[in-house]
């Protein structure tokens, strides 16, 4: 499923790189602060406004690498200690809102989308800023607020009621990648199937490089959200069911694009466990899914290609990987990426700053671009990011291109491994 991030298109050296990593125990306690806000806008403008702050009982992320080094994402959150002015946390992320802004509907109307971000719960007052990446790669501030950890305005409710099972336990959350799976469209009597589906899909993931070498670096959690009915909404077939997190096919009029705009409910369920990534498993046999970087992923579980879709969407959400497929003779997709600058996604390039991508992985003498007749392990093949011209991918085939590829290309494998190591050091 595409992750259309047209505003975010430059690979950049994150401004956070000039800062040293944070002493977690000096600045944070072992819990999370969730900032819920609203994106509002259309094709030409966007705004962000506060909704609420909520304390969550766990911090599932790394306690060592709190300053982002990758520079991925459309948006950037920066947390600064109000007194010392030290930058103590940064992270990039994407949103469903940014994808909507690329649609025809966004040309004629304005909409609002709910959004959440989390960071470690601060011990002292902090200044929080959210910035948006523009078409030219520059960043524009959207939201700035000061948070006092003692404020009575921070909601301290318990997470949404649900039973939790730790399916794979490799130890401390700060030394592992924690994935929290949320049941969607599973009734009370289908929770055993939910656990079986998690095991089937994650076993498949751990059979592929580089995940096979890092299986002992993952914790897997199951949050057994109970739905009144099985399945999910399918508007084109006039199917509407009552489910835990209100997922639906036909996002942005794409029949197979399976998402949910009920971000608040998803986060409330996810708060039952420590997490780096949220994955919603949807109890349906229809083909579909969706994955958005540092937001969450969804996939249907009972389709013949569910396993393939599962790892593809996780590639988007976890490692910031772009789609490597493209469309011939379709001008609709020509402006998703600014071809005058380098995309931030690690597995595609416009050749503007190819030295920042997988250039060092090429064998001596590899032609750039690489002719499609050269079936190399890694090259620079034209056609990626939905565009047949001007954007290049690392391999003729990859799991970010097709469901039939033998595995991930070398550039994708490196990006995934780098993210695993960053979060589990």
Region of 239 on the Ramachandran plot (φ > 0 left; ψ -120 to 50 alpha; else beta): beta
- Asked whether residue 403 is domain-assigned, the answer is no
- Asked whether residue 232 is domain-assigned, the answer is yes
Token digits of residue 143: 């939201």
| Domains held by the chain: number | 2
**For residue 248, is the peptide bond before it cis, meaning its omega torsion is within 30 degrees of 0?**
no
CB 78 within 8 A of CB 89: yes
Q: Are strands 218-224 and 46-56 parallel, antiparallel or unpaired?
A: unpaired
pLDDT of residue 329: 72
- Asked whether residue 72 is domain-assigned, the answer is yes
Work out the end-to-end distance of the chain between its first and last CA atoms, rounded to an integer number of angstroms.
30
- Asked whether residue 307 falls in the same domain as residue 256, the answer is yes
Average pLDDT over residues 167-174: 97
The model's pTM: 0.94
- Asked whether residue 172 falls in the same domain as residue 122, the answer is no
- Asked whether residue 194 falls in the same domain as residue 123, the answer is no
pLDDT, the chain, mean: 94
CB atoms inside a 10 Å sphere around CB 406: 9
Domain's final residue, options 155, 178, 210: 155
Q: Is 318 helix (H, G, I), strand (E, B) or coil?
A: helix
CATH number at residue 137: 2.60.40.3250
Give CA angle at 97 (328, 34), nearest 5°. Answer: 140
- Asked whether residue 149 falls in the same domain as residue 282, the answer is no
- Asked whether residue 47 falls in the same domain as residue 167, the answer is no
Q: Give 1-58 as a DSSP string.
A: -----TT-------GGGGSPPP-HHHHEEEEEEEEEEEEEE-SS-EEEEEEEEEEES-
Domain's final residue, options 126, 155, 184: 155
**For residue 232, is the peptide bond before it cis, meaning its omega torsion is within 30 degrees of 0?**
no
- Asked whether residue 416 is domain-assigned, the answer is no
- Asked whether residue 171 falls in the same domain as residue 280, the answer is yes
- Asked whether residue 235 falls in the same domain as residue 315, the answer is yes
Domain's final residue, options 271, 293, 322: 322
Q: Give 338-349 as a DSSP string.
A: -TTS--SSTT-B
Q: Which of 363, 390, 364, 357 is nearest to 378 (CA)?
A: 363
- Asked whether residue 392 is domain-assigned, the answer is no
- What tens digit of pLDDT does each residue of 349-379 get? 999 999 999 999 999 999 999 999 999 999 9
In this model, does residue 13 exceed pLDDT 90?
no
Residue keyed to tokens 């469309």: 327
The whole-angstrom separation of Cα 113 and Cα 19 is 32
- Asked whether residue 314 falls in the same domain as residue 177, the answer is yes
Q: Which of 226, 228, 37, 25 is nearest to 123 (CA)?
A: 25
- Asked whether residue 108 is domain-assigned, the answer is yes
Instruction: Give how far Cα 212 sits from Cα of 18, 129, 278, 297, Å.
Output: 33, 37, 20, 21
Token digits of residue 200: 């089937």
The whole-angstrom separation of Cα 395 and Cα 389 is 15
pLDDT of residue 3: 40
- Asked whether residue 109 falls in the same domain as residue 151, the answer is yes
The domain containing residue 131 runs over which residues?
15-155
- Asked whether residue 56 is domain-assigned, the answer is yes
- Asked whether residue 128 falls in the same domain as residue 223, the answer is no
- Asked whether residue 224 is domain-assigned, the answer is yes
Indicate the pLDDT class of residue 1, thresholds 50, 70 and 90: very low
CATH number at residue 297: 3.40.390.10
- Asked whether residue 267 falls in the same domain as residue 179, the answer is yes
The whole-angstrom separation of Cα 130 and Cα 117 is 10
In this model, does residue 14 exceed pLDDT 70?
no
- Asked whether residue 199 falls in the same domain as residue 53, the answer is no
């Amino acid at each position: 499923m595409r992750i259309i991030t047209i505003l975010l298109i430059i690979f950049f050296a994150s401004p956070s790189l000039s800062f040293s990593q944070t002493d977690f125990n000096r600045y944070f306690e072992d819990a999370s602060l969730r900032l819920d806000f609203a994106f509002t806008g259309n094709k030409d403008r966007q705004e962000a406004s506060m909704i609420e702050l909520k304390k969550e009982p766990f911090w599932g992320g790394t306690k060592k690498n709190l300053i982002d080094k990758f520079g991925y994402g459309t948006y950037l959150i920066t947390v600064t200690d109000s007194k010392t002015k030290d930058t103590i946390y940064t992270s990039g992320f994407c949103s469903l809102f940014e994808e909507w802004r690329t649609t025809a509907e966004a040309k004629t109307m304005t909409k609002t989308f709910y959004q959440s971000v989390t960071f470690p719960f601060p011990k002292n007052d902090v200044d929080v800023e959210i910035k948006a990446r523009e078409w030219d790669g520059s960043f524009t501030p959207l939201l700035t607020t000061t948070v006092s950890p003692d404020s009575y305005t921070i909601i301290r409710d318990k997470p949404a009621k649900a039973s939790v099972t730790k399916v794979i336990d490799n130890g401390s959350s700060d030394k592992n990648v924690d994935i929290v799976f949320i049941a969607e469209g599973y009734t009370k009597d289908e929770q055993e199937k939910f656990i079986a589906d998690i095991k089937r899909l994650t076993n498949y993931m751990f059979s592929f490089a580089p995940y096979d070498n890092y299986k002992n670096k993952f914790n897997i959690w199951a949050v057994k959200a109970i739905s009144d009915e099985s399945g999910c909404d399918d508007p084109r077939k006039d199917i509407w069911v009552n489910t835990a997190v209100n997922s639906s096919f036909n996002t942005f009029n794409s029949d197979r694009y399976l998402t949910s705009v009920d971000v608040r409910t998803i986060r409330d369920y996810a708060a039952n466990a420590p997490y780096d990534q949220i994955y919603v498993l949807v109890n349906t046999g229809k083909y579909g899914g969706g994955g958005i970087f540092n937001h969450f992923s969804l996939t249907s579980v009972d389709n013949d290609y569910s396993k393939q879709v599962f790892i593809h969407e996780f590639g988007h959400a976890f490692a910031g990987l772009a789609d490597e497929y493209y469309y011939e003779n379709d001008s609709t997709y020509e402006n998703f990426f600014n071809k005058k600058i380098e995309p931030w996604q690690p597995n595609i390039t416009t050749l503007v700053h190819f030295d920042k991508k997988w250039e060092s992985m090429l064998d001596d003498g590899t032609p750039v671009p690489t002719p499609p007749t050269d079936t190399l392990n890694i090259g620079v093949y034209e056609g990626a990011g939905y565009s047949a011209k001007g954007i290049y991918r690392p391999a003729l085939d990859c799991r970010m291109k097709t469901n039939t590829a033998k595995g991930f290309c070398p550039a994708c494998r490196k990006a995934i491994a780098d993210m695993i190591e960053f979060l589990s050091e």
